[in-house]
Amino acid sequence: MKKHQTKATIFAVDKLKIKYPVCFLEQIYYENDTFEYIFKPYYNVIELLDDKVFQGIPGLNMDLKKNVYIRENKIPTFIYERTPQENREDLWELLDEVGLEYLDNLEWLIRTKKIYTGDNFIVEAYHEPRTRFSSGAANYGDEFIIDDIKEISTDNYKLLKFLLDVISQGASLRTEELFIDESNRKYMHKLIYTLYENERRKRSRKQEAGINKAKKDKKYVGRKKIDVSLPLLEEIIEKRKRKEITVEEAMKELGIQSKSTFYRHIKEFKESHNNIMGEDLGREPK
């Protein structure tokens, strides 16, 4: 029987805007018009979080500690709360905003920039785990094998940020000096999170002091706008349209560190070209 599958990851976001993958989610529609939703919680990541960050996934009794939760022919609470219904008056406008020609609940949720304010969950594209031999944005299940920890970064803040990313994403790391896996994830999270938070606070104070000094010396002109090559941006957009690169890879090619800045450049490019491209390419295609 033919079927259409959409896969995603549910993330919980904490006070430092760190994203924790807490569940794999798959939506399957069959040719006989039946469907099912499959939830697979990532308990090894969930156990890192306190109840201020994670209180469970709406609609699932997670006290049962099931490896898999299945909902058949009924839209799960988690999806229903976050997606438009078929009888909504502005449905077609909402679909057009994300480049969909029909309502695909999970696909819409993945692509939309609209924020559900009921909790701190976000949904993004699912990525298959990979073995990687250099640092970069981690995904759940990735395995990083790096010879020397200095290859990651000699900057303490960037190193801590990467290590925390590996830990919080449920990835693993092996270097000659350090390893991170399920045997020490919880301990390393507590240690690295504290160090990262302190380093982040120190970095923020230093930046604020620099801004205040520049203002006092009348040299402060605000954050410098990042210049992006329009031909390169257009090439990146086309690559994203063909699903050849991820958002993280696109940002790296453009020299952009903030996703909000990346999305803003996409939006400005589309507006300046009179909507030549008819779909939103900023989000992960699923």
The count of other CB atoms within 10 Å of the CB of residue 85 is 10
Domain co-membership, 161 together with 202: yes
- Dihedral through CA 166, CA 169, CA 171, CA 172, nearest 10? 40
Q: Which of 91, 129, 125 minimizes the C-alpha distance to 106? A: 125
Domain co-membership, 244 together with 138: no
Q: Which of 62, 96, 78, 64 minimizes the C-alpha distance to 26? A: 78
**pTM (predicted TM-score):** 0.75
Domain co-membership, 38 together with 142: no
Domain co-membership, 17 together with 117: yes
**Which of 125, 146, 174 finishes a domain?**
125
pLDDT tens readout for residues 131-159: 999 998 999 999 999 999 999 999 999 99
DSSP 198-210: HHHHHHHHHHHHH
Domain co-membership, 155 together with 200: yes
- Give Cα 211 to chain centroid, integer Å: 30
Domain co-membership, 239 together with 202: no
**Which of 216, 238, 257 finishes a domain?**
216
Domain co-membership, 38 together with 137: no
Average pLDDT over residues 5-17: 95
pLDDT tens readout for residues 100-119: 999 999 999 999 988 898 89
Domain co-membership, 57 together with 20: yes
**Which of 166, 182, 216 finishes a domain?**
216
CA distance 284 to 107: 10
Strands 172-174 and 121-125: unpaired
Domain co-membership, 121 together with 195: no
Edge-to-edge strand list for the sheet holding 35-41: 69-72, 35-41, 19-30, 3-13, 121-125
Query: Looking at per-residue confidence, does 279 or 53 come out higher?
Result: 53
Q: Give the domain extent around 276.
A: 224-286
Tokens for 107, please give them. Answer: 């696909």
pLDDT tens readout for residues 181-203: 999 999 999 999 999 999 999 98
Domain co-membership, 19 together with 115: yes
**pLDDT over threshold 50, residue 218:** yes
Domain co-membership, 230 together with 211: no
Helix pair 247-254, 230-241: axis angle to 10 deg: 170
- pLDDT value of position 236: 83
Total structural domains within the chain: 3
Q: Categorize the per-residue pLDDT at 220 as very low, low, confident or very high, splitting at 50, 70 and 90.
A: low
Domain co-membership, 24 together with 67: yes
